[in-house]
Amino acid sequence: MVPLKRRKVVSSGAGSPGGPGDTGSTGSTGGPGGGEERTRFPQVVLFLLERKMGSSRRAFLSQLGRKKGFQVEELLSERVTHVICENNCGDEVRTWLRLQGGGRTSAQLLDVSWFTDSMRAGRPVDILDGHKLQEQQIDDAEGGVFSVPSYACLRRTTLENHNPVLTDALSLLAENAELSDEDGRGVAFRRAAAVLKALPEPVTGAAQLRGLPCLGGHSLRVITDILENGASREVEFTKQSERFKALKVLTGIFGVGAKTAERWIRDGIHNLHQLQESGQALNRAQQAGLDHYDDLQQPVTRAEADAIGEVVEEAVVSVLPGAQITLIGGFRRGKLTGHDVDFLITHPEEGREVGLMPKVVTWLESQGFLLYQKTTRNSYLEAKAGPARPPSNMDRFERCFSIFKLADAEKRGRKRAGNAPEDTCCPAAHSRVADEGPEPVKPAGGPGRWRAVRVDLVVSPVSQFAFALLGWTGSKLFERELRRWAGRERAMSLSSHALYDSKQSRYLRATSEEEIFSHLGLEYIPPSERNA
Ligand code: UTP
Ligand code: MN
């Protein structure tokens, strides 16, 4: 009876706007099995609680309800009149609602029996005592204490993580899967880790996890191992494995992906020394990656990101006055360190941004700021990406992958302090870089000290700016989940360029991230809470 549908559907969301197609139309043709899904009962708005019901059963029942002409919301909102629950008691549901921030709902809290009776009758039946949620749960031990929605874009994930041991373990397995060309498994581990990141407290026993989404058997085994034995054998084994260690070291070189690393390992290359000895041909990016390996392994601090931001801003406004730069990626989400620094550049007048990147790069190069750069051209064309071909996940912006040469903090500070007052607020570019020109060998110390930092620059036309900002702020999993939500729950296709609505066969415009969330029927989540 329960369909074998694998689709995961959201379990909740607090105070979000209702989905599309929910205006109270009274037209009624939605008979059993009919393709039409019209609202027959405008006064009745259902929300099915995924907790303990499970996502596939919830999806099945939601679809059934809609077929019968009921309005079924994906998200909990003020419009909801009936919350349908299965195997939950009243107290539990009220607690859960409170935790979701959706606190005081005036909706009826009903057992699924009311729903099935109504389906049978083809209309909302009168609410009998037996339909109301029982106040006491008989088998209290069965329920987990946490509940989170299954889509990461419905959750607020701050940088505060109460379960770092568990999430580190799952992230390591995710990384191992990704490096081994097993992306599906990688995503499964990432999703599981993200669910744990969203929990308000440390997990102390596996029983607490019952009912949580995205925790498959494999992830649960790893978690249980750690909770019971202090460590997971699989994680420890992976960490120690020569293959994993080699993949980590080699893909740690900028410009080297999993495929290349795999090939090198087959040729017996497991570390940097062996790579250098092997005489392998390296492309320009890989050579630069190898040259600056140690620097690029060091996390970039926020202060360094800001110093680079000043340089990029100076470059951008001197080649195109009025152009604007925005810090994106992890730093925009409030992270204190990153593996690189990402900037989005635009100009408020559409079209003025064309040709901007090469000029910025030339400026930066002329000032000695770039140790390496590769620029790709903008290849996005809406007409081509359109309905027949929904926008792919690949970004097609004009983009520059670079390695910056950043003078160390002391030198930056000294130069700034020594400069004229007007230079303090807008220091000359050369005050922040070694002035000595290209330096193939890094000095150990002294006045010429600098470090290499990975910097990504992206140029977007202002009409796509909000989409680019949303797409480049991350986290990667948050982005993936937004796209999954758009496709599965809204029949829309989201990219860093645009949002396409397949039902209306048109693009939906937006000038802010808030508008995009609203198009998607999602509550707005600020960058600091996108750390899924
Ligand atoms: P990063 O890989 O820089 O990650 O991508 P991050 O979140 O800033 O974390 P760090 O740098 O490791 O600290 C930033 C965002 O840009 C998007 C990713 O989806 C991510 O959300 N991105 C990155 C793209 O859209 N396309 C790309 O080719 C690369
Ligand atoms: Mn980044």
Residues in contact with 479: Cβ distance below 8 Å, sequence separation at least 6, in sequence order:
471
Residue 478 CA to residue 421 CA, distance in Å, equals 43
Residue 506 CA to residue 173 CA, distance in Å, equals 40
30 CB within 6 A, ligand 1: no
Q: For residue 305, what pLDDT is reported?
A: 98
Residue 215: both structure tokens together: 């925790």
Bridge partner residues of 109 (DSSP):
83
Please give the share of the chain, as a percent, with pLDDT higher than 70. 82
342 is an active site residue: yes
> Is pLDDT at 100 greater than 80 in this prediction?
no
Closest ligand 1 atom to Cα of 472? 16
Residue identifier of the C-alpha nearest atom 23 of ligand 1: 472
Mapped to the 3 state alphabet, what secondary structure does 8-77 carry? CCCCCCCCCCCCCCCCCCCCCCCCCCCCCCCCCCCCCEEEECCCCCCHHHHHHHHHHHHHCCCEEECCCC
475 CB within 6 A, ligand 1: yes
3-class SS at 301? strand
117 is an active site residue: no
Residue identifier of the C-alpha nearest atom 22 of ligand 1: 472
3-class SS at 505? coil
Residues in contact with 115: Cβ distance below 8 Å, sequence separation at least 6, in sequence order:
46, 48, 61, 65, 84
Give backbone dihedrals phi and psi of 304, rounded to 5 degrees, phi first: -65, -40
Distances (CA, A) of 85 to 113, 114, 148: 9, 10, 15
3-class SS at 504? coil
Residue 532 CA to residue 523 CA, distance in Å, equals 16
Residue 97 CA to residue 100 CA, distance in Å, equals 5
Mapped to the 3 state alphabet, what secondary structure does 80-115 carry? CCEEEECCCCHHHHHHHHHHCCCCCCCCEEEEHHHH
66 CB within 6 A, ligand 1: no
pLDDT tens readout for residues 81-93? 999 998 888 878 8
User: What separation in Å is there between the alpha carbon of 475 and the centre of ligand 1?
Assistant: 7
Q: For residue 4, what pLDDT is reported?
A: 42
H helices present in 122-206, as ranges: 164-179, 183-197
Average pLDDT estimate for 29-39: 49
> Is pLDDT at 388 greater than 70 in this prediction?
no
Q: Half-sphere exposure of residue 324, counting CA atoms within 13 Å on the CB side?
A: 12
> Is pLDDT at 459 greater than 90 in this prediction?
yes
> 133-137, 220-224, 331-335, 427-431: lowest mean pLDDT where?
427-431
Q: For residue 383, what pLDDT is reported?
A: 59
- Domains of the chain with bracketed CATH: 152-239 (1.10.150.110), 242-284 (1.10.150.20), 300-459 (3.30.460.10), 466-529 (3.30.210.10)
Among the bound ligands, name the one nearest to the CA of residue 396.
1
Q: Give the containing element (helix H, strand E) for 384.
A: helix 382-385
Average pLDDT estimate for 66-88: 91
Q: For residue 447, what pLDDT is reported?
A: 66
pLDDT tens readout for residues 122-131? 999 999 877 8
Q: For residue 16, what pLDDT is reported?
A: 35
Per the listing, tokens 């480049």 go with 472
471 CB within 6 A, ligand 1: yes
Average pLDDT estimate for 395-416: 87
423 is an active site residue: no
Ligand 1 pocket test, pick from 326, 341, 342 with the greatest ligand atom count within 8 Å of Cβ, gives 342
Residues in contact with 250: Cβ distance below 8 Å, sequence separation at least 6, in sequence order:
256, 260, 261, 264, 265, 269, 270, 275
Residue 426 neighbours by CB distance under 10 Å: 11
> Is pLDDT at 14 greater than 70 in this prediction?
no
User: What separation in Å is there between the alpha carbon of 141 and the centre of ligand 2?
Assistant: 43
Residue 340: both structure tokens together: 């690189």
Rg (CA), the chain: 27
Q: Indicate which residue of 295, 340, 395, 408 is catalytic.
A: 340
Q: For residue 394, what pLDDT is reported?
A: 59
pLDDT tens readout for residues 500-514? 999 999 999 999 999
339 CB within 6 A, ligand 1: yes
527 CB within 6 A, ligand 1: no
Q: Are the CB atoms for 288 and 255 separated by under 8 Å?
A: yes
Residue 16 CA to residue 524 CA, distance in Å, equals 8
Q: Residues lining ligand 2 (ion), CB within 5 A?
A: 329-330, 338, 340, 342
> Is pLDDT at 103 greater than 70 in this prediction?
no
Q: For residue 484, what pLDDT is reported?
A: 96
> Is pLDDT at 35 greater than 80 in this prediction?
no
Average pLDDT estimate for 446-453: 86
Give backbone dihedrals phi and psi of 374, rounded to 5 degrees, phi first: -140, 125
| Dihedral sign for Cα atoms in the order 126, 130, 134, 138 | negative
Best-predicted range by mean pLDDT among 140-149, 202-211, 340-349, 438-447? Answer: 340-349
> Is pLDDT at 453 greater than 70 in this prediction?
yes
User: What separation in Å is there between the alpha carbon of 342 and the centre of ligand 1?
Assistant: 8
pLDDT tens readout for residues 314-354? 999 999 999 999 999 999 999 999 999 999 999 999 999 99
Smallest CA-to-CA distance from 30 within 64, 77, 53, 57 is with 64
Residue 503 CA to residue 437 CA, distance in Å, equals 57
> Is pLDDT at 200 greater than 80 in this prediction?
yes
Ligand 1 pocket test, pick from 308, 379, 458, 472 with the greatest ligand atom count within 8 Å of Cβ, gives 472
Residue 404: both structure tokens together: 């910056």
Residue 145 CA to residue 208 CA, distance in Å, equals 5
Q: For residue 313, what pLDDT is reported?
A: 98
- C-alpha angle 22/27/33, rounded to 5°? 85
pLDDT tens readout for residues 462-497? 999 999 999 999 999 999 999 999 999 999 999 999
